[in-house]
A and B are shown apart, each in its own frame.
Chain A
Amino acid sequence: MTSTSTRPAPPGGRPGPAGGAPAAARRSRRLAASAFLGPGLTYLLVFLLIPLALVFAHSVFRRGRFGGVVYEFTTENFTRLIDPLYLGVVVDSLKLATIATVIALLVGYPTAYAIAHLPPRWKTVALVAIVLPFLTSFIIRMFALIILMSGPGLINRLLGAELEMLYTDGAIVTGLLYAYLPLMVLPLYSAIERLDPQLREASANLGASAFTTFRRVTFPLTLPGVMTGCMFVFVPSFGNFAVPELLGGGKSLMVGNLVQTAFLRERDYPFGSALALTLIAVLLVLLVVQAKAARHG
Chain B
Amino acid sequence: MGKLRFVPLWLTYAFLYVPILVVVAMSFNAGTSPYVFEGFSLKWYGELAGNARIGEGLVNTLVVAAGTTVLATVLGTLLAVGLARYSRSRLLDAVSLMPAVLPDLIIAIGLLMLYTVVEFTLGLWSVTIAHTVFAMAFVAAVVRTRLTHADTSLEEASRDLGAGAVRTFVRITLPQLLPGIVAGALLAFTLSVDEFVIAFFTIGPTEQTLPIVIYSMLRVGVKPEVNALASIMLLVSFTAVIAGQRLTKIGESRRAHD
Q: Which residue of B lies closest to A255 (CB)?
A: B105
Which residue of chain B lies nearest to A115 when distances are taken between CB atoms in the complex?
Answer: B9
Task: Indicate if the CB atoms of B214 and A29 lie closer than 8 Å.
Answer: no
Interface residue tally for chain B (C-beta within 8 Å): 98
* Residue among B5, B18, B105, B113 with the highest chain A CB neighbour number at 10 A: B105
Cβ proximity bits B153-171 to A, threshold 8 Å, 1 near / 0 not:
1011001000011100100
B130 interface residue (CB < 8 Å to A): yes
B60 lies within 8 A of chain A by Cβ: no
Please, how many angstroms separate the alpha-carbon atoms of A51 and B109 in the complex?
A: 8
- Which residues of chain B are near A238, meaning CB under 8 Å? 103
Task: Report how many residues on chain A are interfacial, defined by Cβ distance under 8 Å.
Answer: 90
Q: How far is the CB of B117 from chain A (nearest CB, A)?
A: 7
B218, A143: Cβ atoms closer than 8 Å: yes
**Cβ-neighbour of A51 out of B19, B114, B148 (below 8 A):** B114
A139, B215: Cβ atoms closer than 8 Å: yes
Q: Which of A52-60, A83-91, A218-226 contacts B (4 or more CB under 8 A)?
A: A52-60
A170 at the binding interface (Cβ < 8 Å): no
A217 to B171, CA, bound (A): 49
- The yes or no answer to A273 lying at the interface (CB within 8 A) is yes
Judge if B112 is at the interface, Cβ distance under 8 Å.
yes
State the majority secondary structure of interface residues on B.
Answer: helix
Say yes or no: A241 contacts B194, CB within 8 Å.
no
A272 to B106, CA, bound (A): 10
Cα–Cα, bound, A138→B17 (Å): 14
User: Across the two chains, which residue of chain B brings its CB closest to A250?
Assistant: B219
Residue A78 interfacial (CB < 8 Å): no
CA distance A55 to B201 in the complex (A): 14
* CB pair A136 B237 closer than 8 Å: yes
Q: Which residues of B contact A279 (CB under 8 A)?
A: 103, 105-106
Complex Cα distance A148/B92, Å?
44
Give residues 112-140 of A contacting B (CB, 8 Å).
113-115, 117-118, 124, 126, 128-133, 135-140
Q: A140-B233, A144-B23, A264-B201 are in contact. Are A44 and B96 (CB under 8 A)?
A: yes
Contacts of B238 in A (CB 8 A): 132, 136
Closest Cβ of chain B to A81, distance in Å, is 16
Contact for A28 among B95, B153, B155, B164, CB less than 8 A:
B164
Which of B42-50, B62-70, B78-86, B177-185 is near enough to bind chain A?
B78-86
Report B115 CB to chain A, min CB distance, Å: 9
User: Which residues from chain A contact B234 at a C-beta distance below 8 Å?
Assistant: 136-137, 140
- CB-CB under 8 A from A55, the residues of chain B are 106, 109-110, 113
User: Known interface pairs A40-B76, A154-B35, A279-B103. Does A28 touch B165 (Cβ–Cβ under 8 Å)?
Assistant: yes
CA distance A60 to B113 in the complex (A): 14
- Which residues of chain B are near A141, meaning CB under 8 Å? 19-20
Residue pair A263, B245 in contact (C-beta under 8 Å): no
Measured between beta carbons, the chain B residues less than 8 angstroms from A29 are: 86, 165
Q: Could you say which residues of chain A place their CB within 8 Å of the CB of B155?
A: 8
A178 lies within 8 A of B79 (CB): no
Decide: A147 and B110 in contact? CB cutoff 8 A. Answer: no
Q: Which residue in A32, A52, A129, A264 is a CB contact (below 8 Å) of B110? A: A52
Known contacts A143-B214, A148-B22; 6 further A-B pairs (Cβ under 8 A): A29-B165, A33-B87, A44-B136, A55-B109, A111-B9, A136-B234
| Contact sample, A vs B, 5 pairs, CB 8 Å cutoff | A7-B84, A47-B114, A52-B102, A143-B214, A235-B101
Q: Which 3 A-B pairs have the closest CB atoms?
A: A51-B110, A36-B82, A40-B79
